[in-house]
Structure formats: C-alpha cells, structure tokens
Amino acid sequence: MKIKNIPFSPPDITEAEKKLVMEVLDSGWITTGPKTIEFEDKIAKYCDANNAVALSSATAGLELILKVYNISEGDEVITTPYTYTATASVIVHRGIKPTFVDVKKDSFLIDEQKIAMAITPKTKAIITVDFAGVPVDYDAIKAVLKQKNREDIIFISDSAHSFGATYKGNKVGTQADFHVYSFHAVKNLITAEGGAITFNDNNYKGKEDLKKELKINSLHGQSKDALSKMKAGAWKYDIITDGFKCNMTDINAAIGLAQLARYEGMLTKRRAIFDIYTTALRTKPWAIIPFTKDENSETSYHLYALRLKGFTEMQRDELIQKVAELGIATNVHFTPLPMFTLYKNLGYSIEDYPNAYNQYANEITLPVYSTLKLEDAEYVINEVIRCADEIKAK
C-alpha cells in the first residue's frame, strides 16, 4: 500500500492572496491602514454586525474587552476548562483566577445550568467557547443571566472556531455582547496571525465610542493611529491609557480580504470532507460522530472531533500513532486546562471536571482543510477505521 502524506491543517493560499499582499508591499504602507479598515468593514458585513475591530489575535481581542471594561483583580470571570489556554490566560493576565464550569455530559460545550450555579455577586463576565465551530446555545446563556437577574454580566463568545457558523438562521457574530474570532494559520479563514471582535452596540455599557476605544487600546493607548500621524504636520498625539500593541497590519488584512472573497467556497469544501468522514463512520458502533447541523445551528466545519466509544485514552493515543505511520496527521482538541502545569499550580484538578476529561480521553481530530482532496479524505477515513477496528479487536 502506498503511504500518503496528509498534513493536519496547511493554509489554503492562492494567487489571490499573493496578489493582494504584493499590492500592499508595493503601496508603501504595510502596517494598520486602508486594507485593515476595509477588512473590518467586510468582516462586520459578513457577520451582520454593526462593528468589527481587527487585531493581531483572538487572544488580544478577549483581553482588550476585559481591559476596556476594567475587569481585574477582585472580579470573577466564568469560562470552560475545555478550550485552548488563550481563553483562560487572558483572565489570569487580569489578575483573576478563572471560574471553570464543566461541559455538559457527552458535549464539548459549557453547561448552562452550571453557569447559573457559578454566578456570584463578583461575576463580571462569562466567556463561552464555540468548540470546533459549533455555536453554544447563546439564547440559553442569556436566559440564565435573565433568570439570575444578572444581565449586567458581559457575555463574550470565544468564537475563534466559528467564523461562518450559523445560529437560528443568522451568521454567528451578534448573538453575544461580543464575538471574538481567530484568523490564525490553522483556522478556516486565515491572515497568518490575526483576529477580530464583532459587536452591535457601540455605546455598550455607556461607552461614547467603543470601537474607537478598542482601537486606541490596541495601539499603546495612543490617540492617533500611524496613518493619521503620518499626514503632513499631524505628528502630535496623546497617550490616553496603558494600551497593548495588538493592531492588525495591512499585510495580514490583505490575506484576509482574499480569503473572505472565496470563503463560502472554502466552507463548501470543508463540508464535503465532513460528509465523507461521517458517511464512512455511520456503521461503526464505536464512532461518536461530531455535530454538524440541526434546526437551530450549523457548524463552521472547523474541526472533525471524532470520539471513540469504549476506547481508553491509551487506545486513542495508539490510534494516533498507527495512522501517523501511514502518513496521516491527526490531533486532539483539547487537553482540558486543569491537566496542564500552569492550572494545576493555580489549584485546579481535572477530577472536578469529569465531563471535560471524558470528552478528551477518547477524542481524535481528523484532518479537515479546504485544499484536502476528496480521494485523500477517503484514504484518511478508511485507514482510521481499519486501525480503530484493529485496536478494538485486541
């Protein structure tokens, strides 16, 4: 049998991206400028949001929101342990120990009812996670806040995975108070590194101009961006706050604009790969097939998070190794945060989050990307099934 080389998630770069990047390089303006503004406008339009702020990462977006609303030591922020560290690290940066709420049983998504139990008078924000591109039940979260008479709590959706997903007939991007996206190199839509915040209310919680404040905070708290300062005679500026340095550049935005122009087609390709995997796995009693769509929502087809019923963590790891020897790169999403040294040292124990551990222990993420040939997707799933059957039969 000929062994193929199937990477996990290479970027989908075409001549369109190269052309736009070269235009920026030739323009003489490569940092935050007209292309970033255009990208923000098109992101907002795509998500049906009133506002978008493009940044250097989703991580920066999450932390900017916490900073702008002065959420810091003494406050509490609720989130899930089933996520990448970025979701929780930004809380730690603000001097806060995250309040972790376990996922629902047999789900990768945070348990809304346990959120209700975790809310205290000190709770200032909740950060949910659209794992693998599957939207959380935003309305259920908002119902919990209403029931608890705590609609003052800021509802932030870590939507790093869910750009292009839908919820109740609408694109993800306005259901929470804020949605934060990642355009990192392994995401559906990429800018090499990058992210964005989308939101509707530019006066949320009394802000005079929230979009402007976020952008100032992304550029050292400086009252003028570089494009404004470079105009003849306009060199004077003020430092208004202790901001970060996390603005997006026009080079990154150019890649994003080219990606956005063909994004629906990229989603169609990802959906086709999901269909190949799911069709092949339907007859396998050990396969717990990931969510794709129902009457309320549809994933962005970011990660094919397959769970292996009856497999131990060791057997899952054996499967990863066996398919790696066949040239197939897979992954695990995610190791729950309480299993890492940083979080152990903060006092967390995975034993307190049994649902999160059970999701992790038998999860394997299969390669999905818009340049993956369908015949290669067939190769992937056939070999995964063959190897899993062998392990199961031992």
282 with 240, same domain: the answer is no
Residue 6 lies in a domain: no
191 touches 60 (CB < 8 A)? no
232 with 275, same domain: the answer is no
Q: What is the pLDDT of residue 379?
A: 98
217 with 280, same domain: the answer is no
- Written as six digits, the tokens of 22 are 């070269």
Residue 3 lies in a domain: no
Q: What is the pLDDT of residue 245?
A: 97
Residue 210 exposure: Cα atoms within 13 Å on the Cβ side: 23
Residue 1 lies in a domain: no
Question: How much is the average pLDDT of 198-217?
Answer: 98
146 with 45, same domain: the answer is yes
CA–CA dist 47, 341 (Å, integer): 37
Domain CATH number, residue 185: 3.40.640.10
Residue 153 lies in a domain: yes
Residue 7 lies in a domain: no
Q: What is the pLDDT of residue 103?
A: 98
**What are the pLDDT digits (tens) for 337-394?**
999 999 999 999 999 999 999 999 999 999 999 999 999 999 999 999 999 999 999 8
**Confidence check: pLDDT of 231 > 90:** no
174 with 27, same domain: the answer is yes
- What pTM did the predictor assign? 0.97
Domain edge (last residue) among 256, 273, 290: 256
Q: What is the pLDDT of residue 224?
A: 77
135 with 251, same domain: the answer is yes
Residue 5 lies in a domain: no
Q: What is the pLDDT of residue 225?
A: 79
Question: How much is the average pLDDT of 225-229?
Answer: 71
Domain edge (last residue) among 229, 256, 283: 256
Which active-site residues does the annotation give? Answer: 187
Residue 81's CB: how many other CB atoms inside 10 A? 29
For the chain, give the mean pLDDT: 97
Reduced to 3 states, what is the DSSP secondary structure of residue 76? strand
247 with 327, same domain: the answer is no
55 with 203, same domain: the answer is yes
313 with 281, same domain: the answer is yes
Domain CATH number, residue 295: 3.90.1150.10
Domain edge (last residue) among 256, 276, 291: 256
Residue 264's CB: how many other CB atoms inside 10 A? 10
**Confidence check: pLDDT of 232 > 90:** no
251 with 338, same domain: the answer is no
Q: What is the pLDDT of residue 229?
A: 64
Reduced to 3 states, what is the DSSP secondary structure of residue 305? strand
**What are the pLDDT digits (tens) for 18-71?**
999 999 999 999 999 999 999 999 999 999 999 999 999 999 999 999 999 999
Q: Give the DSSP H/E element, type plus range, for residue 298.
A: strand 297-298
**What are the pLDDT digits (tens) for 291-329?**
999 999 999 999 999 999 999 999 999 999 999 999 999
**What are the pLDDT digits (tens) for 268-298?**
999 999 999 999 999 999 999 999 999 999 9
Residue 8 lies in a domain: no
DSSP letter at 241? S
Q: What is the pLDDT of residue 358?
A: 98
Residue 2 lies in a domain: no
Give the pLDDT band of residue 230 (cuts 50, 70, 90): low
285 with 377, same domain: the answer is yes
Specify the amino acid at residue 293. K
Question: Total domain count for the chain?
Answer: 2
Specify the amino acid at residue 8. F
139 with 196, same domain: the answer is yes
Question: Is the bond preceding residue 244 a cis peptide, omega within 30 degrees?
Answer: no
Q: Cα(first)–Cα(last) distance of the chain, in Å?
A: 23
Domain housing 163: 15-256
Q: What is the pLDDT of residue 228?
A: 73
Question: How much is the average pLDDT of 112-116?
Answer: 97
